[in-house]
Amino acid sequence: MRITGVELRRIAMPLVAPFRTSFAVETARDVLLVRVVTPNAEGWGECVAMADPLYSSEYVDGAVDVLRRFLVPALPKTGVDEHAVERALEPFKGHRMAKHALGTAVLDARLREDGRSLGRYLGASRDRVPCGVSVGIMDSVPELLDAVAGYLDEGYVRIKLKIEPGWDVEPVRAVRERFGDDVLLQVDANAAFTLVDAPRLARLDDFGLLLVEQPFAHDDMVQHARLARLMRTPVCLDESIESAAHAAAAISLGAASIINVKPGRVGGYLEARRIHDLCRAHGVAVWCGGMLETGVGRAANVALAALPGFTLPGDTSASRRYFAEDVTEPFVLDDGHLAVPTGPGIGVEPVAERLRAFTTWSEWLPA
Ligand code: OSB
Ligand code: MG
C-alpha cells in the first residue's frame, strides 16, 4: 500500500452532560481525527488525547504537533502496512495516543482495501459486546442515584462510579442500598488516592465491587501491589499500563489482577492485542476502557472488546450517553449490548455533513 497523504481534522463535540472525574470536568470533547488517503481507499483514526494533559501527558495540540512534525513524515513511502508503520514510529518516545490515531487510520485503509473487518482481523469471537457505563462524580447522592437509575433503565449491564477522596464509600453504599447486590458495580479513582488512603479504600471491600480502577498515581506500581495485598476487591490498572511490558510488570508484581485496555493509551490495536494475549495466558481478565470517543473510535473499540479475553463489560457505551449527535451513525444499545461492526475496516465513517458542521480546523499533510 502507498499513502497519498494524511488529513488532520479537529472537531468540537458538546457532551450531553458535564462529565466530572477526579482530574477534570469535561463539557465538550475536542477530538482530533486522522484520515489516511491511499490511491484505493481512505482510513480513519481517532486520537483520544484530551484538550489538557490531565489524564496523561498527551493533549490535542501536542498530538497535532508530533503528527505533523515527526510521525506523518516518518511513514514508509511504499509497502505500508500496520507493522511497518508501528516500526517506523517506534523510535519516537511516548505520544502513544498520536501513534494510535495514525496507526488505526492506516490499518483501517488497508482493511478497507482488502474488504476485511477490524473485528475479524483482530480475532473477535463474538458479534456483540456487553456494555457498561462510566458515571461521573455528581454534586449530590440523589443526583447520582437518578443518573444510575436512568442508565440501568437503558439496559447497561455494569455501572462504574468515578470516585475521589470524599466521594468514595458513601456513593458506593448508596448505589448498593438503592439498586441491590446484583448490579455489577466498580469504581475508578483516576489516580486520586495515595497509600495512606488504603484503610479507607479497604472499606470498599464491604460492597462486593468487581474492581477498583487506578487508585494511585500512574507511576506507582509498587504501591498498587501493596494495596492489592491489603484489600479483597481486585485492583485494576488503567493509567499505569502504557504497553505490554507494563502489563507484564504489573502481573508479576501483583499490582493488578484485572487490566483496562485502551488502545489509545497503549499506542494502538497491535499493542492492545498483545496485552490481551498476555493477560489471557496469565488468567488476568481484561476489559475495554473508553475515552469518550465518537463513533469512529467507538467502532474500533467494540471490535477489540469482542476478543475472547475481554471477559468483563467495557466502558463502550452507546453514542447517546455522550453526544446528542455523533459524527457517525449512532451506536445504539440493544439489550445492554452493542453490535460489532461487520463492514470493511472499522465498519463506520463520519457522515459528511455532520463532519463539516463539527469541524473547527483541518490540515492536509502530503505523504
Ligand atoms: O479513566 O476510564 C477513565 C473518560 C475519559 C478519561 C478517562 C476515563 C474516562 C471514563 C469514561 O471513565 C469512559 C467512556 O465512557 O468512554
Ligand atoms: Mg480509568
Co-location of 194 and 212 in the same domain: yes
Co-location of 176 and 228 in the same domain: yes
Q: Whose CA is nearest to atom 13 of ligand 1?
A: 290
- Looking at this protein, which amino acid is placed at residue 67? L
The pLDDT mean for the chain works out to 98
Give the pLDDT band of residue 160 (cuts 50, 70, 90). Answer: very high
Residues lining ligand 1, judged by CB closer than 6 Å? 55, 134, 188, 190, 238, 289-292, 315, 317
Report pLDDT digits (tens) over 205-229: 999 999 999 999 999 999 999 999 9
Co-location of 110 and 131 in the same domain: no
Co-location of 25 and 99 in the same domain: yes
- Given a contact cutoff of 8 angstroms between Cβ atoms, the answer to whether 103 and 46 are in contact is no
Report pLDDT digits (tens) over 11-33: 999 999 999 999 999 999 999 99
pLDDT for res 99 = 98
Q: Whose CA is nearest to atom 1 of ligand 1?
A: 190
CA 52 to chain centre: 17
Task: Tally the domains of the chain.
Answer: 2
- Given a contact cutoff of 8 angstroms between Cβ atoms, the answer to whether 263 and 97 are in contact is no
- Given a contact cutoff of 8 angstroms between Cβ atoms, the answer to whether 222 and 194 are in contact is no
With a pLDDT cut of 90, the percent of the chain lying above it is 99
Q: Which domain does 61 fall in, by range? A: 5-115+350-366
Residue 54, judged by CB atoms within 10 A of its CB (0-12, 13-18, 19+), counts as middle
Residue 33 sits in a domain whose CATH number is 3.30.390.10
Whether 93 is a known active-site residue: answer: no
Torsion angle in degrees (nearest 10) through CA of 271, 239, 258, 92: 20
Reduce the DSSP state of residue 199 to 3 states and report it.
Answer: helix
Taking residues 77-105, what's their average pLDDT? 97
Taking residues 345-363, what's their average pLDDT? 98
Co-location of 62 and 103 in the same domain: yes
Co-location of 216 and 322 in the same domain: yes
Decide if 216 is inside a domain. yes
pLDDT for res 17 = 97
Report pLDDT digits (tens) over 98-144: 999 999 999 999 999 999 999 999 999 999 999 999 999 999 999 99
Decide if 344 is inside a domain. no
Ligand 1 centroid distance, CA of 84 (Å): 30
Longest dimension (CA), the chain: 60
Whether 262 is a known active-site residue: answer: yes
Co-location of 75 and 177 in the same domain: no
Ligand 2 centroid distance, CA of 267 (Å): 16
Co-location of 66 and 141 in the same domain: no
Give the pLDDT band of residue 61 (cuts 50, 70, 90). Answer: very high
Does the complex come out with an ipTM higher than 0.95? yes
78 closest CA partner among 15, 161, 3, 176? 3
pLDDT for res 142 = 98
Residue 133 sits in a domain whose CATH number is 3.20.20.120
- Looking at this protein, which amino acid is placed at residue 111? L
Taking residues 285-310, what's their average pLDDT? 98
Co-location of 50 and 191 in the same domain: no
pLDDT for res 149 = 98
> What is the residue-wise DSSP string for 127-190?
SEEEBEEEE---SSHHHHHHHHHHHHHHT-SEEEEE-BTTBSHHHHHHHHHHH-TTSEEEEE-T
